[in-house]
Amino acid sequence: MEKILVLDFGGQYNQLIARRVREHHVYAEIKPYNKITVAEIRRAGYAGIIFTGGPHSVYDKTSPHYDSAVLDLGIPILGICYGDQLMAYMAGGTVSSAESSSEYGKTKVCVNCSPLFKDVPSESICWMSHTDYISQLPEHFVGVAHTDKCSYAAMCDAERKLYGVQFHPEVTHTDYGKQILKNFLFEICGCHADWKMDDFIRSTVDNLHWKLKGKKVFLALSGGVDSSVAAVLLHKAIGENLVCVFVDHGLLRKNEGDFVEQTFRDRFGMSLIRVNAQDRFLSKLSGVTEPEQKRKIIGEEFIRVFEDEAKKLGEIQVLAQGTIYPDVIESGKGDSAVIKSHHNVGGLPDVISFDEIVEPLRDLFKDEVREVGEKLGIPHELVWRQPFPGPGLAVRVLGEITEEKLEILQEADAIFREEIAGAHLETMTNQYFAVLMDSKSVGVMGDARTYGYTVALRAVSTDDFMTAEWTRLPYEVLERASSRITNEVKSISRVVYDITSKPPATVEWE
Ligand code: XMP
């Protein structure tokens, strides 16, 4: 299979670049610039390389640089933003810095005739974000695009198939960005578009079948899309030798536990062990109000439950996990601060020993995992399930968790989700849920005074959950949800809508 290397210099769009390449059915993988040598690149046989952007200036002492021998490998290269400047610098050109030359946002770009700009009009809009610029081209390079402020908005050395663009073709604000990447892949690198999900399924199932023949494989199924898709792939490959353990901690949404069980046991005929551990979790959580402590208790209790199950199962040879590509990419950027200790319930104890780990999805992005899920016939609602935190409703029942409060929240949350679905708004928002406040407020129903809980509804729009906007849901939908919740769920006397973005708030309330 042909592949493209996305050489990461710390740009914020590196994953987006790889995804955009894969949208053209060409496999792309991301490597930090300091984790792969020129010799390794040569050996790996890449069809092309993309240098990503990055927040640096090529002349800074700490800025990321790369061995210029990469330019002479005969492999086509596309430099983007910082990657473009770095390529110019490596090839002997000059990069300068001037506030007066900085460009940010949508910018008119004029392009010349070049394979990179096949089917791109001579004038269009691109997305710029730079202060440094190439002031002098390296020898053998020619300018092939310009803007009002930037004489070399794109450059190339066609002989060596080296191309650079100062703008960002990977973002949707660049009108012909998709076409430009397509041109790089097919006109310049000569790719054939051989990365197809049907082929992925066939070859993965085949490989897993031979690799795991006769072995017992254990998978912790959470009901999320990743572990579900991994489970179905493995089941196709090894059938009954796959044992899935699904721990129902009682902190799931309404009917979710039953749905997962029915889907995997009845529909796919898998050997699924459902552990109903609500009492166990609730007793550990009794009296606990501090969010981080809740997370810690739930994470630890998961481990204990898995330990107990593992003992019952006897020797486990292979552990399967639903790890996906963004989990395994090392970034060229530094570590960022941890705001919450995100517990993923898939965490397994060290004491469960196994000989091997398989991660059938470790090369896929989330949207590709979903595509595979659809092709495998996994129900739509599971494949497109919105993110759900490992600690579940425990971080949405503020303060102490009780069975009664969980039930109230489950009902309110189910109504909110029904209303969103009824109004076909699932694609307008990326995550939406209800949160149960810890305090009560006064209301009036009929002629009587009520004193019940307050529920907050939250819906956010986001690309990556690092930042998020509150979703502008239509008032009518909010009104219907509020009216149904106060009428249908006893003990709720007030509904509010959370209009805080992230930052300063986080998506979850705890
Ligand atoms: P925050 O609240 O940090 O949430 O803005 C960002 C995204 O992460 C999810 N989230 C979690 N996921 N374990 C998880 O697996 C956790 O402890 C956890 N806390 C938050 C949250 O639902 C949102 O999608």
Q: 């639903």: which residue's tokens?
A: 322
Q: Give the per-residue pLDDT at 25.
A: 96
10 Å Cβ neighbour count for 356? 13
Token pair of 33, please? 């610039």
The alpha carbon of 122 and the centre of ligand 1 are apart by a number of angstroms equal to: 45
Q: Which helix (H) or strand (E) holds 79?
A: strand 77-80
Q: How far apart are CA 64 and CA 86, in angstroms?
A: 9
Q: How far apart are CA 299 and CA 303, in angstroms?
A: 7
Q: Give the per-residue pLDDT at 313.
A: 84
Q: Give catalytic residues, as residue numbers.
A: 81, 168, 170
DSSP secondary-structure letter at 44? H
CA nearest ligand 1 atom 12, residue: 389
Which among 294, 340, 458 is the best mutation to test ligand 1's pocket, defined by most ligand atoms within 8 Å of the CB? 340
Q: 């989330």: which residue's tokens?
A: 366
The alpha carbon of 54 and the centre of ligand 1 are apart by a number of angstroms equal to: 27
Instruction: Return the amino acid letter for 127.
Output: W
The alpha carbon of 225 and the centre of ligand 1 are apart by a number of angstroms equal to: 15
Rama region for 325: left / alpha / beta (φ>0; ψ in -120 to 50; rest): alpha
Q: Give the per-residue pLDDT at 128.
A: 95
Which among 247, 297, 342, 366 is the best mutation to test ligand 1's pocket, defined by most ligand atoms within 8 Å of the CB? 342
CA nearest ligand 1 atom 10, residue: 389
Q: Give the per-residue pLDDT at 329.
A: 79
3-class state of residue 305 by DSSP:
helix
In this structure, what are the phi and psi dihedrals at residue 453, rounded to the nearest 5 degrees? -75, 160
Token pair of 358, please? 């398989």
The alpha carbon of 230 and the centre of ligand 1 are apart by a number of angstroms equal to: 21
Q: How far apart are CA 390 and CA 181, in angstroms?
A: 37
- Evaluated on CA atoms 258, 260, 261, 262, the torsion sign reads positive
Q: How far apart are CA 237 and CA 213, in angstroms?
A: 9
The tens-digit pLDDT sequence of the chain (510 residues) is 899 999 999 988 888 999 999 999 999 999 999 999 999 999 999 999 999 999 999 999 889 999 999 999 999 999 999 999 999 999 999 999 988 888 999 999 999 999 999 999 999 999 999 999 999 999 999 999 999 999 999 999 999 999 999 999 999 899 999 999 999 999 999 999 999 999 999 999 999 999 999 999 999 999 899 999 999 999 999 999 999 999 999 999 999 999 999 999 999 999 999 999 999 999 999 999 999 999 999 999 988 898 888 888 887 889 899 999 988 876 655 434 445 555 454 455 666 677 888 999 999 999 999 999 999 999 998 999 999 999 999 999 999 999 999 999 999 999 999 999 999 999 999 999 999 999 899 988 888 888 999 999 999 999 878 889 999 999 999 999 999 999 999 899 999 999 999 999 999 999
Q: 296 CB under 6 A from ligand 1?
A: no
Q: Are 306 and 220 in contact (CB under 8 A)?
A: yes
CA nearest ligand 1 atom 23, residue: 507
How many C-alpha atoms does 62 have within 13 Å on its Cβ side? 7
Q: Give the per-residue pLDDT at 192.
A: 96
Q: 344 CB under 6 A from ligand 1?
A: yes
431 closest CA partner among 508, 346, 338, 325: 508
Task: Measure CA 234 to chain center.
Answer: 22
